[in-house]
Chain A
Amino acid sequence: MWAFIHKLGSPKWFYGISAKLQPWFWAAAALLIVTGSLWGLAFAPADYQQGNSFRIIYVHVPAAFLAQSIFIAMAVSGLVFMVWKIKVADMAAAVMAPLGAAMTFVALFSGAVWGVPTWGTWWMWDARLTSMLILLFLYLGVIALRGAFTSRDSASRAASVLAMVGVINIPIIKYSVDWWYTLHQPASFTLTSRPAMPTEMWLPLVIMVLGFYCFFIALTLMRTRSEILRREANKHWVQELVAGQVVKVPAEEAR
């Protein structure tokens, strides 16, 4: 078990395994998102109350899922880094933050745009919307905090702590629709019961959600590999890896 964790934590090992996994997640993400988009935009039936504006759900819900999941992933990575000093966990946490912020923005923006024809307003200071806005600020805070230190280790520890503390906002977002009276409707999906929507409406949504998760995994693998190269540039294995590719270049170019 410990050997496995340490293997997993080795940047060199991670660099190799992620190269093999990455194409599968990109392919799955592309396939799922294209299928889900076509289905959701053109084939799913219009909502009997909202008409075609409900098609915003196919980007709004997956983005909101990711926004929250990425923050949890970032907090878990922060914990792993703090407890076991596994550097790859910190690298992953660092590269996740911008996508998390982007997805939070997408959830807020698509929600605001959806609110105009549906609620008659693009913004309300209700619990769900406000806690999502706080999530965006938490992401921006984590990103800014990382940039605010000259020492990488201090930056990593500060960002990990903020992610672990900020994760308390996630259950607040999740249960805000139950705890307070909000304009936002309660969850459309639960693990225990079938959704109230017809199959041809929710199936493309499930496909989109899965596609977004694959996209997140693929992008995180790709960017963690870059982060490994950046941080381990002076390590022997990286220089050997690069040297192996440079040797093939003719001597003329090398000058």
Chain B
Amino acid sequence: MAFDSFSEFLAMGGHAPYVWSAWGVTALLLLATVWHARAEQRQLIKGLKRRARRANSARGNAQ
């Protein structure tokens, strides 16, 4: 461990604003890309399923 206490860890030897903003922006962007990819996938599959159901019921009505 490079720090003696948690508050020292947070303070980063006076470099807290630099270290935490750089790490924070990185973490935020990585998480945002994952969130976006998941939302995109869900939305696509939902749309495809809706279309398939509509096709199914159309076929059902025709019979």
* Chain A positions near chain B (C-beta within 8 angstroms): 33, 37, 41-46, 51-53, 55-56, 59-60, 63, 98-99, 102, 105-106, 109-110, 113-114, 116-117, 215, 219, 222-223, 225-226, 229-230, 233, 238-239, 242-243, 245-246, 249, 253-255
Contacts and interface: CB of A to CB of B under 8 A. Distances in A.
**Majority-rule SS of B interface residues:** helix
Nearest to A220: B37
Interface of B: 1-3, 9, 12-15, 18-19, 21-23, 25-26, 29-30, 32-34, 37, 40-41, 44-45, 48-49, 51-53, 56-57
Given A106-B26, A110-B26, A238-B48, A223 B19 contact: no
A125 B55 CA distance: 59
A59 B1 CA distance: 19
A42 B8 CA distance: 10
Contacts, number: 103
B13 A46 contact: yes
A55 B48 contact: no
Contact of A43 (B1, B12, B44, B56): B1
A113 B3 contact: no
Contact of A116 (B18, B45, B48): B18
A249 B57 CA distance: 12
A118 to B, nearest CB: 9
Nearest to A107: B26
Contacts of A53: 12, 15, 18-19
A226 B29 contact: no
Contacts of A37: 23
Contacts of B29: 102, 105-106
Given A51-B13, A59-B23, A246-B56, A102 B33 contact: yes
Nearest to A50: B15
